[in-house]
Amino acid sequence: MTYPDTSPPIDTLPYRPCAGVMLLNRDGRVFVGQRLDSVLEAWQMPQGGIDPGEAPLDAAIRELGEEAGIAPHLVELVAEAPEELEYDLPADLVGKVWKGKWRGQRQRWFLFAFLGDDGDVNIATAEPEFRAWRWVEPAELPHIIVPFKRDLYARLLELFAEPIAARGRPAG
């Protein structure tokens, strides 16, 4: 016996409120991690949900600690994206992640300078999300991310082009 699909249409689901972090080291390279829950050779910048009542900037700093083990005193805010960015999950993932509550994410992005050194990064956190991490050139970002986030990462490079260039690296 087959049962009818009772899940709501994808386009009626809301976007998950989220904060994201582009973290630049002293060489102008960007921190990326490889997710534990993915078998893809895909990398991403730290990001995560904004808790009810939490400010997006606070969520971004919290996510850096939760995902990369980076203490708040080791980062300095450089810029905030002037707009929220959204992405949709591929249809085959909707309903499988985030308990089926969201169609994708609506993200506030922040650019931080990393004041520490590589020894200050620790992805073996209490609830690890990354299996590996590295620093990449900003222009590499759209090429190493999962396809459904490529446009968002390309837009981030446009939005943060000036502060990235000011730190000695072309954005794209």
* Residue matched to tokens 């308990």: 99
The pairing of beta strand 43-44 with beta strand 30-35: antiparallel
Residue 123: pLDDT band (50, 70, 90) is very high
Which residue has better confidence, 98 or 88? 88
Are the C-beta atoms of residues 21 and 48 closer than 8 Å to each other? no
Residue 111 has pLDDT above 50, yes or no: yes
Mean pLDDT of 63-81: 97
Q: Which domains does the chain have, with CATH numbers?
A: 12-166 (3.90.79.10)
Greatest Cα-to-Cα distance within the chain, rounded to the nearest angstrom: 62
Residue 7: pLDDT band (50, 70, 90) is low
State whether residue 25 is helix, strand or coil.
coil
Encoded tokens for 42: 């895909």
Residue 4 has pLDDT above 50, yes or no: no
pLDDT tens string 135-151: 999 999 999 998 889 99
Q: How far apart are CA 4 and CA 151, in angstroms?
A: 34
Residue 45 has pLDDT above 50, yes or no: yes
Q: What share of the chain has pLDDT > 90, as a percent?
A: 67
Encoded tokens for 28: 């102008």
The strand pairing partners of 44, in sequence order, are: 33
Residue 168 has pLDDT above 70, yes or no: no
